Structure 1
Amino acid sequence: MTCILTSVKELHIISNGKMPIEQLREIVMDIHPYVTAIHLREKQKTARELFQAVELLSAANLPLSKVIINDRADVALVTKAGGVQLAFHSLDAAIIKENFPQLRVGSSIHSYEEGQQAKENGTDYVLYGHVFPSQSKPGMTPKGLNELTRLTQLAIPVIAIGGITPENTGQVLHAGAKGIAVMSGVLEALDPLSAVKAYLNVLKNGDGYNGRII
């Protein structure tokens, strides 16, 4: 297989639902210039609490265009966030795109077939995983690079998630991913800013590929 890396890939940071928003804000203040998107994946929070969380992040100078709200299109709209990340139980992407075209819409998927459906529904990108063993998915078999490679043939941007480290980021890029999504690798790092820069270095340079044909 050959691969040419011609552009900087995307780096999405996913909140873990356990960290106080005030702590997340402190990390975001440092890292937001270096990332594509900050996902608020706060399943236990009410719409009001999510709204307040976005206000807190906005007050810390996080551009709202970088904020992605998990599941709640209503909160994304009223806060003027950049987009919404849809799960299997969410409204279909086609409905969101038809009624709220200003939102960037991502779909979380776990199979090639779900990727096909997301593409047909007009999803802007898919979040696919978990690619590698992940501490957030203990005991669950990872999807692996072969399935990721197959999925990237659908001609829809694929953001890979699950157990991704700076050391294995080059592998998912080589498989055709448009970018990566990280949770604990940044938010639980001793130095989140240094962790982000380590990921970004690989995303820019291709971990040795550097735009060369492999």
Structure 2
Amino acid sequence: MEIEKRRRLHVISTGQQSREELVKVSRTIHPYIDMLHIREKSWTGEELAETVDELTAAGVPLRKLCIHDRADIASMKHVRGVQLGHHSAPVNLVKKDFPSLKIGSSVHSMHEALLAYEQGADFLLYGNIYETTSKQGKPGTGIENLKDIVMNTPLPIIAIGGISPGQVENIVSTGAKGIAVLSGIFLSENPLEAARAYYKAIHKEVKQHDETI
């Protein structure tokens, strides 16, 4: 299993923008991010496949693309990974039929995290850490719970949920391998500047964190 030491910045589409806007923003921000998640629940397989083509034509590398739920499209279009949720097929079945894909699993508890690990997930999205508009009415799980997940799950943990650039230090201090952002970048007034701010924050904190070891 490949576990990278450097911190990772994942950006997830919001479901609130057109394909054209998604591609336009992605073209500008991709140099500053490590993974672009296409999370569009209402799109057809054809729309997802065409979006991958449009993104690659805009210069976004296939190795930076991850499609939510649709392992078949992810495999056919040769993107890097697929992200699975509670409604998706089990991780072990997807892993068996699509061995070329990096498989992320979205989890919300220690039980779910350990189950995803046992089934062969490559990384986990865990949250929501803080309160967020995308999960209205759902309180954040908090830093201490994130730390427990990191300490007890031998997989790279990507923290998600209401994370601002100023909170990256708290996330990094837990040992999490990175963060995932939705509206903080895609729905910001200036997505490029927002992506740069997250990029600088996560890599600045990595340097400071490493120097204390």
Q: Which interval holds the TM-score relative to the shorter structure?
A: over 0.9
Q: Find the residue that maps to 1:127 and give its secondary structure.
A: strand
Q: 1:52 to 1:165 in 2, by over 3 A?
A: same
CA distances 1:143-189 after superposition (whole Å, capped 9, x unpaired): 11111000001121100000001000110110111000000111111
Question: Is the CA contact 2:91–2:103 (under 8 Å) kept in the aligned structure 1?
Answer: yes
TM-superposed deviation, 1:213? 2.8
* Higher relative contact order, chain-length normalized (CA < 8 Å, sep 6+): 1
**Paired residue for 1:52?**
50
Aligned residues: 209
Q: Which runs of structure 2 are paired with 1:165-204 in the superposition (5 Å)? A: 165-204=164-203
Question: Is the CA contact 1:7–1:204 (under 8 Å) kept in the aligned structure 2?
Answer: no
**Paired residue for 1:152?**
150
**Paired residue for 1:122?**
120
CA distance in 2, matches of 1:70, 1:10: 18
* Superposed CA RMSD: 1.6
CA distance in 1, matches of 2:76, 2:43: 16
Q: Find the residue that maps to 2:40 and give its secondary structure.
A: coil
Runs ≥4 in structure 1, deviation > 3 angstroms? 207-210
**Paired residue for 1:3?**
none
CA distance in 1, matches of 2:193, 2:6: 18
CA distances 1:38-59 after superposition (whole Å, capped 9, x unpaired): 1000001111111111111111
Gaps of 5+ in 2: none
Gaps of 5+ in 1: 1-5
Percent identity between matched residues is 39
TM-superposed deviation, 1:207? 7.5
- Scaled by the length of structure 1, the TM-score of the pair is 0.93
TM-superposed deviation, 1:76? 0.4
